[in-house]
Structure 1
Amino acid sequence: MCRVVDLQQAVLAKNDQAAHTLRAELAARGTTVVNLLSSPGSGKTALLERELVLARERSVPVAALTADLATENDATRLARSGVPVKQVLTDGLCHLEADMLARHLQGWLPEGTRLLFVENVGNLVCPASYDLGETLRVVLASVTEGEDKPLKYPTAFGLAHLVVVTKTDIAEAVAFDLAAFRANVEQVNPGVEVLLTSARRDLGPGVLLDRALAAADGVPLHTPVMARPAHGHTHDHADRAGALAQSRS
């Protein structure tokens, strides 16, 4: 059992070092990375497409990299925005890793890109533990997923700088309890901002773009309770998040 834990920590430690290096390299180029995490079908592709269109209209140099197990459907959708887009097929891997991202950026990321949006694999488990060299980590949840999502996935929500609720135009139809959702988010990540959006109704246009630009400009971000130091840490996020949620319940 100890060997399994040690192996996992070694893998994550290696990833963290790769993320640290990638973050520094991209910062030197003036590029800020935004890591988007959510369950499948949350609506993050629709929201991101709208944000990319706004970025182009505002003449903000942006690019997007989207990851999936199979198909290039998301890249096709995002390319309609008119900004540089790249699809990464993970061949069954349930998350992106920092060195994988770095390899796909080589020779592709346009010079002068200010913001790089990374649409992670649709999954709130595996991607949560992997730093991609991002400056801003956003977790999205649709109203159809239920109010207890933050408690079921405390690591994902506990490491977020920002939480975005999607598909709010159908919140009443699915009896989504926003107050309960906010309370559950607060349990695992006290003080994190929760924003409401609807790509279909154009609610909250520019929320991701505005927060990303602020992060790029050095505006202080929310510090998650689960935030870890850059080096010399252990990876017990799920245990710590679960203990936090239990202690606050």
Structure 2
Amino acid sequence: MSQRRLVEIETNILARNDAIAEGNRRRLEADGVLALNLVSSPGSGKTTLLVDTIRRLGAEGVAVIEGDQQTANDAQRIRETGVPALQVNTGKGCHLNASMVERALPQVSPPGLGLLFIENVGNLVCPAGFDLGEDAKVVILSVTEGEDKPLKYPHMFAAASLMLLSKVDLAPHVDFDMDACEAYARRINPELEILRLSATSGEGMDAWLDWIDARREALRQRALSRARQHLAMLEQR
């Protein structure tokens, strides 16, 4: 297959994905649901962070779409918090796509759903290019990884709105320069917000919950603005 044909196929796949993602986004925003796409390499502590986040927030109005190539282990951990979680196994696929989320939404939308976490497959490459209809991508990088990850995987950090530097309780025991890591990340994305936290010690968790609350309020304000605009259009008629 020629390189030109490969580019055409990839472009068509991404265009179709983006169209479905936009439909997901409209549906979620219309329902007042904040959707966050959690992305990272394997072993960063996404699920542990998610479990502790849910316990601090409370289970009411929260749901999770859990992406992995195989097993339902992480979804089961989430369900133990009392939150509905749907496992999506991608098989040989290295990421979730918008169609998977579209099919999952009707199965994981409890009454009063206000916050949806999408835990993507552990991978810092493929998920960067696939919009799921989320409000924001949150990239998680642990201090047990290399501080140059943002330079090695720039597309993910460019696409993210927030970087969570996790497992900071282990910082005294590993060779990791947190300041350098944050500088690398901001070199890729100057607007990237960064929080340091540890689900084990609790450090930084309040700041993370405050960030979620701020995104929820921004979503609410956008909905109010659209409602006012719609009302004004009706009055002009």
Q: TM-score interval w.r.t. the shorter chain?
A: 0.7 to 0.9
Structure showing greater Rg: 2
The equivalent of 1:77 in structure 2 is: 77
Identity percentage over the alignment? 45
The equivalent of 1:238 in structure 2 is: none
The equivalent of 1:43 in structure 2 is: 45
Distance 2:146 2:82 in 1: 34
Distance 1:27 1:179 in 2: 36
Contact 2:66/2:119, CA 8 A, preserved across alignment? yes
The equivalent of 1:226 in structure 2 is: none
The equivalent of 1:109 in structure 2 is: 109
| Structure with greater helix percent | 2
Partner amino acid, structure 2, of 1:28: A
SS at match of 1:13: helix
Shift of 1:156: 0.3
Contact 1:31/1:112, CA 8 A, preserved across alignment? no
Distance 2:162 2:64 in 1: 19
1:33 to 32, 35, 59: 35
Shift of 1:90: 1.2
The equivalent of 2:158 in structure 1 is: 158
The equivalent of 2:56 in structure 1 is: 54
Contact 1:69/1:89, CA 8 A, preserved across alignment? yes
The equivalent of 1:149 in structure 2 is: 149
Distance 1:206 1:120 in 2: 23
Distance 2:35 2:208 in 1: 12
Q: 1:34 to 1:208 in 2, by over 3 A?
A: farther
Contact 2:88/2:100, CA 8 A, preserved across alignment? no
Partner amino acid, structure 2, of 1:4: L
Number of residue pairs the alignment of both structures matches = 218
Q: 1:206 to 1:66 in 2, by over 3 A?
A: farther
Distance 2:163 2:11 in 1: 27
TM-score normalised by length of structure 2: 0.88
1:113-124 to 2 correspondences below 5 Å: 113-124=113-124
CA-to-partner distance for each residue in 1:142-187, whole Å, 9 max, x for gaps? 1011110000000000111000011111112112101110110011
Distance 1:32 1:219 in 2: 7
CA-to-partner distance for each residue in 1:45-93, whole Å, 9 max, x for gaps? 101100011111xx75111111101111111111222111221111221
Contact 1:37/1:140, CA 8 A, preserved across alignment? yes
SS at match of 1:106: helix
Distance 1:137 1:211 in 2: 13
Partner amino acid, structure 2, of 1:12: L
The equivalent of 2:176 in structure 1 is: 176
Distance 2:71 2:42 in 1: 14
Partner amino acid, structure 1, of 2:51: E
Gaps of at least 5 residues in structure 1 are 221-249
Partner amino acid, structure 2, of 1:168: V
Distance 1:119 1:179 in 2: 27
Shift of 1:196: 0.6
Distance 1:175 1:84 in 2: 38
Shift of 1:219: 6.7
